[in-house]
C-alpha cells in the first residue's frame, strides 16, 4: 500500500507545484462552479491558499525549575485543482518555525529541563491526495485530514502546530438520511514529526474505520461506528472500538434551545496488543442557551482497572486537547481510568466568544481523586480572516500528575 501512496503523492505534488506558479504570478482563478474541460483547464481554475498561525505558549509545571516559553509560527500553502471528470488533486505544505529562543521541550530538541510543548519545527507535506467525487459519493486516496464525529476517536489534533494527518483511502456516500463512511489507514503522520524520535513521528498502521449515520432528523442525529486500529509500531495501543452516538438540539422559545449528547462504546484488544482486555466508554451531556449565553453539564467516563494495568480505554488517534482539560494531563488514560465531570459556560457577542470550563477528575476504578481544572478562553474574529485567541488552563493536582498552569496567545490569518 505504501508504494501506492508514493505513486499518488509524487505526481500530485508535481502538478500542484506547476500550478502554483500560475496562481501566484497573477493568473487569477475563475470564480466559477463550472467543471474543468481539460487537465489544463483544471489547473487554471484551481486555487491556492496561504495561512499563518503565530502562537506563544507558556507552561508553569511543578517539578520543573524552568518555565516553558514556546514562540512558533505555522505557515501553510495549499494548492488545489478544479475538478476534471469528477477527479481533483490537492497538496498542502506545512512549516513550523521557532521565533526567538527555543525555551521549551519540543520532544525532539533534548531540552528536558523545560516542560513539553509538542510543537517541533520542520517542514512536511501535510496533505496530498487524489479525489473522486461523482454524485452522492466521495473518494480520497493519499495523505489527508480525517475527522470523525467530535474527534474523540479519530481526529486531526489541529490545535498543535503540526497537524495529525493520515496516509489512507477514504470513501463515503449518502442515501436519503443514511450515510456510510469507510477508511483504511496505512500510516498516521503524528504531531511529533517530521523528524524521528520519541514519541514516534508516525504510526505504521493496518487500520479500518466504519461510520454509519443511521438517521438524521430535524432535531436529532443517530450514528454508529467501528474503529479497528492495528498500530504496528505501538501494539499496546491497538484496539477495536464499537459504539453508538445520539445527539440533538431542540428550539424552545425565541433564541432559546436545549441540546444533548449520549454515547456508549465498547473496546477490546486488537492486532498484536499483548494485553487481553475489554473496557467501556460513556458520555452524557445536557446543555441549553438563551440569546448569546449557553451552558452545558457533562459526564465522560473511560474505564480502567487499578489492579491490572493495560486494561484502560484508549483513544490514541483522538484530538485529545478537546477533552479532559486544556492542560493536557490525560493524554494517556491512567490505569484506573478517568471519570470527568464538567460544566461549561459560553457567551458569543459581536464576533467574540468567551468560554469558562470546570473539570473534576477522579479514577473510574477505585477511589483516587486526580484533581480539578479551570479553563478560560476569549476568541475574536476580525474581517473574517483575522482570528485572535487568548486562552488559559490551570490544573490543580490531588493524587495524579503535577500542578500545571498554561496560557496561550494566538493570531491566525488566511488568504484568500
Q: Give residue-wise pLDDT tens across range 95-120.
A: 999 999 999 999 999 999 999 999 99
- d(CA 160, CA 143) in angstroms, rounded, equals 18
Predicted local distance difference test score (pLDDT) of residue 302: 98
Grid cell for residue 24: 501566484
CATH match of 58-64+127-415 with 2.60.120.380: no
Predicted local distance difference test score (pLDDT) of residue 85: 94
Grid cell for residue 282: 460513556
Return left, alpha or beta for 159; rule: phi > 0 is left, psi -120 to 50 is alpha, else beta.
alpha
pLDDT per residue as tens, the chain (416 positions): 444 333 344 444 444 444 444 444 333 444 446 779 999 999 999 999 999 999 999 999 999 999 999 999 999 999 999 999 999 999 999 999 999 999 999 999 999 999 999 999 999 999 999 999 998 899 999 999 999 999 999 999 999 999 999 999 999 999 888 899 999 999 999 999 999 999 999 999 999 999 999 877 778 899 999 999 999 999 999 999 999 999 999 998 889 999 999 999 999 999 999 999 999 999 999 999 999 999 999 999 999 999 999 999 999 999 999 999 999 999 999 999 999 999 999 999 988 999 999 999 999 999 999 999 999 999 999 999 999 999 999 999 999 999 999 999 999 999 99
Q: Residue-wise over 200-209: b if at least 16 C-beta within 10 A, else e?
A: ebbbebbbeb
**pTM for the predicted model, two decimal places:** 0.90
Share of the chain residues as helix, strand and coil, in percent rounded to the nearest 5? 10, 55, 40
Full DSSP string of 152-211:
SSS---TTSSSPPEEEEEEEEEEETTEEEEEEEEEEEE-TT-SS--SS-SEEEEEEEEEE
Q: Residue-wise over 236-260: b if at least 16 C-beta within 10 A, else e?
A: ebbbbbebebebebeeeeeeeeebb
In contact, 108 and 120? CB cutoff 8 Å = yes
- Residue 322 DSSP SS3: helix
Among 109, 128, 129, CA closest to 119 = 109
Predicted local distance difference test score (pLDDT) of residue 114: 98
Q: Residue-wise over 2-27: b if at least 16 C-beta within 10 A, else e?
A: eeebeebbeebbebbeebbeebeeee
- The residue whose grid cell reads 501566484 is 24
Amino acid at each position: 500500500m505504501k508504494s501506492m501512496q508514493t505513486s499518488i503523492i509524487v505526481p500530485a505534488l508535481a502538478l500542484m507545484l506547476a500550478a502554483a506558479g500560475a496562481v501566484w504570478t497573477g493568473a487569477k482563478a475563475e470564480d466559477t462552479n463550472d467543471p474543468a474541460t481539460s487537465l489544463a483547464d483544471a489547473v487554471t481554475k484551481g486555487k491556492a491558499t496561504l495561512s499563518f498561525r503565530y502562537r506563544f505558549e507558556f507552561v508553569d509545571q511543578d517539578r520543573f525549575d524552568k518555565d516553558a516559553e514556546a514562540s512558533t509560527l505555522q505557515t501553510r500553502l495549499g494548492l488545489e485543482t478544479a475538478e476534471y471528470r469528477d477527479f481533483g488533486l490537492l497538496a498542502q505544505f506545512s512549516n513550523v518555525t521557532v521565533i526567538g529562543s527555543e525555551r521549551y521541550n519540543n520532544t525532539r530538541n533534548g531540552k528536558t529541563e523545560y516542560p513539553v510543548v509538542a510543537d517541533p519545527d520542520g517542514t512536511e507535506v501535510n496533505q496530498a491526495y487524489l479525489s473522486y467525487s461523482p454524485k452522492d459519493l466521495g473518494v480520497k486516496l493519499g495523505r489527508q485530514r480525517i475527522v470523525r464525529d467530535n474527534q474523540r476517536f479519530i481526529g486531526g489534533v489541529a490545535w498543535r502546530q503540526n497537524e495529525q494527518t493520515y496516509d489512507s483511502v477514504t470513501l463515503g456516500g449518502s442515501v436519503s438520511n443514511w450515510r456510510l463512511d469507510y477508511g483504511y489507514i496505512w500510516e498516521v503522520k503524528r504531531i511529533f514529526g517530521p523528524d524521528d524520535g520519541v514519541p514516534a513521528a508516525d504510526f505504521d498502521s493496518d487500520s479500518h474505520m466504519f461510520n454509519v449515520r443511521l438517521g438524521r432528523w430535524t432535531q436529532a442525529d443517530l450514528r454508529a461506528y467501528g474503529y479497528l486500529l492495528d498500530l504496528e509500531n505501538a501494539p499496546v495501543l491497538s484496539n477495536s472500538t464499537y459504539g453508538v452516538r445520539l445527539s440533538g438540539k431542540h428550539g424552545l422559545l425565541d433564541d432559546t434551545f436545549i441540546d444533548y449528547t449520549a454515547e456508549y462504546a465498547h473496546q477490546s484488544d486488537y492486532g498484536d496488543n499483548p494485553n487481553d482486555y475489554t473496557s467501556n466508554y460513556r458520555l452524557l451531556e445536557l446543555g441549553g442557551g438563551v440569546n448569546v449565553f449557553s451552558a452545558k453539564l457533562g459526564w465522560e467516563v473511560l474505564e480502567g482497572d487499578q489492579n491490572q494495568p493495560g486494561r484502560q480505554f484508549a483513544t490514541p488517534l483522538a484530538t485529545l486537547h478537546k477533552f479532559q482539560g486544556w492542560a493536557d494531563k490525560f493524554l494517556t488514560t491512567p490505569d484506573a481510568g478517568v471519570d470527568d465531570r464538567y460544566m461549561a459556560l459560553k457567551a458569543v457577542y459581536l464576533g467574540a466568544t468567551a468560554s469558562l470550563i470546570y473539570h473534576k477528575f477522579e479514577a473510574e476504578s477505585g477511589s483516587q481523586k486526580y484533581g480539578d481544572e479551570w479553563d478560560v478562553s476569549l476568541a475574536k474574529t476580525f474581517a473574517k480572516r483575522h482570528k485572535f485567541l487568548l486562552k488559559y488552563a490551570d490544573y490543580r493536582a490531588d493524587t495524579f500528575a503535577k500542578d500545571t498552569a498554561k496560557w496561550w496567545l494566538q493570531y491566525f490569518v488566511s488568504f484568500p
